[in-house]
Structure 1
Amino acid sequence: MPVSMVGRAGELAELDRAWCTVVSGDRPAPTVTVITGAAGVGKSLLVAAALEGFAPRPAMVLAGAARVHDPAPYDWLAAVLSGRDTSGLDLPPDALAWLAQQPTAPRERYAPGTLLRLAVRTVRLLVGAGPAVLVVEDLHALDPASLNLLCELAATPELPALLVVVSRPPADAVAPDLTVRALARLCGVRGAVRQHLAPLTAAEVAEVLTQVYGGTRPAEPVATAVWQRTGGNPYVLTELLAAHAGAGPEGLVHQPLPEHLRPPVPRPAAPPDAEPPDAELTGREIEVLGCLVAGMSNKQAARALGISVRTVTVHVSNLLRKTGSASRTEAALWAVRRRLPVSAPPG
């Protein structure tokens, strides 16, 4: 067992069985696997190891992750399309440019429902006859449009694919409520595989150290001390080993932790009156914010609210200023996080 997969044999076997289900063609919809766990427990390494061992090899692997800064609609699909030749896809060029977040994309976008259907069709065309693997990294950091797309793909008939979703717990999410709902929908799909990666046990840390140090098993007190020091987190353990590569197992106990792994010095809490107050929004701004949450363009919002596009632009500018947001998507996420009673107007 490779060092990176110590303690993960069961999960690897389960992913392989899920792939065999896709290859057999026994399911009318994608097979869904949801993998959660704290940062550093090896979720991405597990997926990479599974992909390496799949037989037969996937005809197509579509992988994407959330952007760290300035999330935008359909970030996952944009990452999938990045650098890929899409000239042969039977899709409207302007819609494809918008989904790929190309700088040349037109300012006006399709209606949210239409764009979602086009996004599903894009994935269908890329998968083709399959079998394919769709890898979704960092579900907890994805934008609402990407979450909607993934839930639609999970229930899309005649899509020969294994949908592998990786996420931290909802508490770490950009929008915890949305993440909870997305995970619930994905895990509720018939035949879904659910995995949660826990930290390594003391015995598994001892196995890792045995492999690293040429088969010599460390003394139990040393292995236990390293396990306690790293919390059984594979990433922390790997970084500790890398920082003290020349030291023996005992050195891992006494040598200082790498600086980036040391707990931050807590800052004194700000007094209550120093915390920024909630934004005071007008009734019309709340209506416009509901349109942003629904993914509407300024033109669509103006039509829905019966006001001019220029007026909507002013309200959006005020919303960005009042909520401290750098983009329309950030403003929408701001509303979702605060559970504001916003909704898009009918029509």
Structure 2
Amino acid sequence: MAFVESKLFGIRTALGLQWSCGMAKQETEGLFEGEIGRAIEMIKPGNGVRIIGAAGSGKSTVIAELVTRLERFGHTPRVINALRTQRNIPLAAIDALELATRPGRTRVVHLANALSAQLAAQHQPVIMIDDIQYVDQHSLAVLEDVLRRTDCPLVTSAPASTPLGQDHLALLARRSEAVIRLHPLSDSETSSLARRTLGNPLTRAAAARLVSASEGNPKLVVRIVQAAVLAGQLSLNGKEWKMTSDSLSNEHMAGTLEEMQSELSPEQVVALLPKPDTAPTANPAGVRLTPREVELSALAGEMTNWEIAEYLEISVRTVENHISNALRKTGTTSRAVLCELVRKTAGRGR
């Protein structure tokens, strides 16, 4: 695979590979000062905080900055960065804390004892969980036991649109908490973030198109302009970046969309996907989908199979089968497109 040397990003970028998950600190510096300040004011007296927002809205950035600020103020953050790929692995989240336990003592009560003892020995400890929706059930049991024994504040991040499971809600209920919502960037903030990312401002027309495509989502702002430069859709004209085409969708956005698809709206995903040479021929209005296939297809663009299964209290295999059948019947290969087609058909009174 060919590599492109990019002084713009300061890295060697492999074309077609996914972008890194986080946003550079210098790109987002100053964007979340108000939210971070409110969170710290809640944590100081021992309250919990939940940071919520859409995919790419900056939740992980806020958590990371809170860790830095809390350490500066004398707190001891214990951080769990929960991963989607490990959400069904027992104790995966707790294992990340590398608790010191005796050989063979790996049951929930043993791990809760070890973590509680560590917190008691640390100065102003704070438990921090990024993406709490991905914490496995066994780790949730450990954490709930620890919160029952201690008065340690709990700081979490979670998506605004995806419902949390009962075990996750039970853990959050252990602490009074303030919910801090990350709102979309304003038009001026979007343009400013693009300028920090690229080093030069966008033209007025390019900035307007970026605002429309990103809907003020910080991660999308960064990824869209980076991908547009790689695809030749943005070109530096003097001191401004100018659009060279009518679209900001391209193949370099595929990794970002796959990463964020479960929390983006179908409209956002469809708008940012590369446009096919011909329109899809599938039309759900002429296809007989079962009521269950319609129900699950309408959720498929915004939620993963695991999240749908948890939300509807059915098995993941059942979800997989129904969505696979719907994709086959409609002749589509994209969950986002399937979701869009089903919703439009329902809106016409199918």
Q: Tell me the TM-score normalized by structure 2.
A: 0.56
Is residue 37 from structure 1 mapped to residue 53 from structure 2 by the alignment?
Answer: yes
State the 1:34 CA deviation: 1.0
Is residue 205 from structure 1 mapped to residue 190 from structure 2 by the alignment?
Answer: yes
- Partner residue, 2:97: 80
- Partner residue, 1:17: 41
1:47 to 63, 83, 104: 63
For residues 338 and 193 of structure 1, the distance between their equivalents in structure 2, rounded to whole angstroms, comes to 28
State the 1:238 CA deviation: 0.9
For residues 43 and 195 of structure 1, the distance between their equivalents in structure 2, rounded to whole angstroms, comes to 10
Superposition map of 1:103-252 within 5 A: 115-127=107-119, 128-159=121-152, 162-169=153-160, 171=162, 176=163, 178=165, 182-183=168-169, 186=172, 189-190=175-176, 192-212=177-197, 218=202, 220-243=204-227, 244=229, 247=236, 248-251=240-243
Structure 2 counterpart of 1:257, one-letter code: S
For residues 52 and 222 of structure 1, the distance between their equivalents in structure 2, rounded to whole angstroms, comes to 35
Superposition map of 1:302-341 within 5 A: 337-338=312-313
Structure number with the bigger relative contact order (C-alpha 8 A, sep ≥ 6) is 1
Partner secondary structure for residue 130 of structure 1 = coil
Q: 1:230-271, CA deviations, whole angstroms, 9 ceiling, x for partnerless residues? A: 121111111122231764433388464342143388876674
1:66 to 83, 86, 90: 83
Q: 1:114-149, CA deviations, whole angstroms, 9 ceiling, x for partnerless residues? A: x44333222213332233332212222232333344
Structure 2 counterpart of 1:231, one-letter code: E
Taking structure 1 as reference, are residues 219 and 336 closer, same or farther at Cα in structure 2, changes over 3 Å only? closer
C-alpha RMSD of the superposition? 3.9
Structure 1 counterpart of 2:104, one-letter code: D
Structure 2 counterpart of 1:144, one-letter code: Q
Structure 2 counterpart of 1:165, one-letter code: T
For residues 335 and 197 of structure 1, the distance between their equivalents in structure 2, rounded to whole angstroms, comes to 25
Taking structure 1 as reference, are residues 250 and 187 closer, same or farther at Cα in structure 2, changes over 3 Å only? farther
For residues 12 and 338 of structure 1, the distance between their equivalents in structure 2, rounded to whole angstroms, comes to 35
Is residue 7 from structure 1 mapped to residue 31 from structure 2 by the alignment?
Answer: yes
Structure 1 counterpart of 2:172, one-letter code: L
Contact 2:90 2:138 in 1 (8 A): yes
Taking structure 1 as reference, are residues 71 and 33 closer, same or farther at Cα in structure 2, changes over 3 Å only? same
Structure 1 counterpart of 2:39, one-letter code: L
Taking structure 1 as reference, are residues 74 and 257 closer, same or farther at Cα in structure 2, changes over 3 Å only? same
Structure 2 unaligned regions, length at least 5: 1-24, 258-271, 294-304, 316-350
Q: 1:1-53, CA deviations, whole angstroms, 9 ceiling, x for partnerless residues? A: 9431453121111233245x1xxxx54xxx32211222111111111122223
- Highest CA radius of gyration, 1 or 2? 1
Structure 1 counterpart of 2:191, one-letter code: A
State the 1:219 CA deviation: 5.4
Structure 1 unaligned regions, length at least 5: 97-114, 277-329, 341-347
Q: Tell me the TM-score normalized by structure 1.
A: 0.57
Partner secondary structure for residue 250 of structure 1 = strand
For residues 205 and 86 of structure 2, the distance between their equivalents in structure 1, rounded to whole angstroms, comes to 43
Structure 2 counterpart of 1:166, one-letter code: S
Taking structure 1 as reference, are residues 137 and 252 closer, same or farther at Cα in structure 2, changes over 3 Å only? farther
Structure 2 counterpart of 1:182, one-letter code: H
